[in-house]
Amino acid sequence: MKTKSGTLLPQTADGITNGGVYLQRRRCGKKNCWCACGEYHTGFYFIRRINGKFTKTYIRNSEVKAFAEIVNQSRALKAEKRTSTKQSNELLKRLRESSREYEQIAKLYKENYSDDSS
């Protein structure tokens, strides 16, 4: 998907690291424009943060639904990754605890049965 300025919007959910689709209303500043009477110009933008700065990219009305779906897929992928990471960390924690218990049992076994064999 190409925008007015020629920049490309991400084509897949993997291409989106942050950001979302937002509707913005604004006045253009022209004296004779209908937006001076209270009706705002509206447009959809892909707003994200890059290197600490917010950037916005215009999205054509015909492409809003498709791109919003890509953004939603990206959010779902991130949620899956967070859940997976949480589960992995919990498994590692249990593995470390089991390892410590095994070491304690091995130490006790060594202390109790190494003296008998001498």
Structural domain boundaries in the chain: 13-113
What is residue 6's predicted lDDT score, i.e. its pLDDT? 57
Strand bridging mode 53-59 / 20-26: unpaired
What pLDDT tens digit does each residue of the chain (118 aa) get? Answer: 655 555 677 766 666 777 888 888 888 888 888 888 878 888 898 888 888 898 888 888 888 898 888 888 888 998 999 999 999 999 999 999 999 999 999 999 888 887 655 4
32 in Cβ contact with 8 (< 8 Å): no
> Taking the C-alpha atoms of 54, 22, 13 and 76 in order, what is their torsion angle to the nearest 10 degrees?
110
Question: How far, in Å, CA of 62 to CA of 85, rounded?
Answer: 37
64 in Cβ contact with 21 (< 8 Å): yes
What is residue 20's predicted lDDT score, i.e. its pLDDT? 85
Token look-up 């791109």 returns: 67
